[in-house]
Structure 1
């Protein structure tokens, strides 16, 4: 899917983008904080995401773990009330979109609402817009995206979207259900950290192999694993990730 942003599409579609007008019958910011505070102790992630969805005036949410987005499988889904067929249809497209983004673009997208279009051939719930909104945030080293569906004709508040991005990260950090995907540990192994350190020192695979006393192919396998776990595409991006997260 070649995702089109609303900035370029709005003139063609004539649909609303983001506004700042009041939402009728919406819960207040204080009410949202109170609800999230009560839910935080229950480790009930779906309830918290549903409250944030209601607060911003959306109808459906999909919380995705970006570093698990792959071209096959739905392991990246942390919590969702999107129709299952829609999530399955979009999994390959989301993986492709994420892989085309540079590490800098990913960093700049944090807490910045982004609007895009769903493919024309997807089946949506009645009254739901083809547009959706994404909010990316970090919980520790984990990068998550909250994707929101909303009704045709609705105007989402810029201020409320910013609140949702902040509160989604805050609430997710408290939601630690035993089998919750957002808290799955993908820390690098000691050997992977060693390889990452020597990459940052400018060493080649052959040089690292000589230093560590293992084969060049094994070194390359470790480096591939590092890039998979850190959702980076090049050694330079892996180094930038390591520096940003104090790994080297």
Structure 2
């Protein structure tokens, strides 16, 4: 039984990535990327270095928009990317702000749903490591061959370096979509929430109605992808908003 062209390409890529590249080669390639190459070239170098096969970089704050908007750069097959974008949105929605903070630079291994068709010799597990660039949170997700064991230390190093090269790219850097920026009034409400004030107390302090305060707080939680006031406070502290 023959194999498809896609399977052949993936198999060849997996064998190549299994050999890896030296630290010196990685530093040289990243130096070139910083000067003139695209984000994909840098991610490809990191992927090869750690012994994985393919990369996907997702930005979590953009996942609120749904669809494929959260995918920044990837060389995964499109069908898998399309399915995974929904999974990313779901995982992000279920994770508390504290869990997000504790999970930074901590590689975790997840499993693809059974109904996703993967090329031969590619593990159904994939690795995800989160990191921050400014106030934006990203996840680097790696597919790897079945016979490769990824180094936890190497994965953390790769996530740090991915943050470095992502910060150099204008399209990924610290672009904040206006829709998700907090207004001065919302920041005021967030500050007083962090001080332990209730909606009624904040309304008295700011001289506006309690309903208006609640509307501001609801807007803050929508923009920060948090579900409770405590999560919104944790988000504010992590991002130096209060």
Give TM-score, length-normalised by structure 2.
0.83
| C-alpha deviation, 1:60, in angstroms | 1.4
1:43 & 1:230 partners in 2: Cα distance? 32
Please list every run of 5 or more consecutive structure 2 residues that lacks an aligned counterpart in the other structure: 1-16
What does residue 101 of structure 1 align with? 95
Counterpart check, 1:183 vs 2:177 = no
What does residue 234 of structure 1 align with? 228
What does residue 23 of structure 2 align with? 29
Do 2:71 and 2:85's aligned partners in 1 also have CA atoms closer than 8 Å? Answer: no
Do 1:118 and 1:132's aligned partners in 2 also have CA atoms closer than 8 Å? Answer: yes
Change (3 A) 1:84 1:213: farther
| C-alpha deviation, 1:222, in angstroms | 2.3
| C-alpha deviation, 1:24, in angstroms | 5.9
Do 2:131 and 2:163's aligned partners in 1 also have CA atoms closer than 8 Å? Answer: yes
Do 2:199 and 2:213's aligned partners in 1 also have CA atoms closer than 8 Å? Answer: yes
What does residue 192 of structure 2 align with? 198
Change (3 A) 1:192 1:42: farther
Comparing 107-116 with 215-224, which one deviates more in the overlay?
A: 215-224
Counterpart check, 1:142 vs 2:136 = yes
Please list every run of 5 or more consecutive structure 1 residues that lacks an aligned counterpart in the other structure: 1-22
Superposed, 1:37-76 pairs within 5 Å as 37-42=31-36, 44-70=38-64, 72-76=66-70
Q: CA RMSD in A?
A: 2.1
What does residue 126 of structure 2 align with? 132
1:91 & 1:202 partners in 2: Cα distance? 36
1:198 & 1:71 partners in 2: Cα distance? 28
Aligned residues, how many?
A: 223
| C-alpha deviation, 1:62, in angstroms | 1.0
Q: 1:111 is paired with a residue of what secondary structure? A: coil
Change (3 A) 1:228 1:40: farther
Change (3 A) 1:71 1:183: closer
2:37 & 2:224 partners in 1: Cα distance? 26
1:170 & 1:107 partners in 2: Cα distance? 19
Give deviations 1:46-76, integer Å, cap 9, x for gaps.
Answer: 1111111111121211111112224832211
Counterpart check, 1:209 vs 2:203 = yes
Do 2:186 and 2:216's aligned partners in 1 also have CA atoms closer than 8 Å? Answer: yes
| C-alpha deviation, 1:136, in angstroms | 0.8
Give deviations 1:120-142, integer Å, cap 9, x for gaps.
Answer: 00122333211000111111111
Q: 1:120 is paired with a residue of what secondary structure? A: coil
Counterpart check, 1:245 vs 2:239 = yes
Counterpart check, 1:155 vs 2:149 = yes
Higher relative contact order (CA 8 A, sep 6+): 1
What does residue 10 of structure 2 align with? none
Give TM-score, length-normalised by structure 1.
0.81
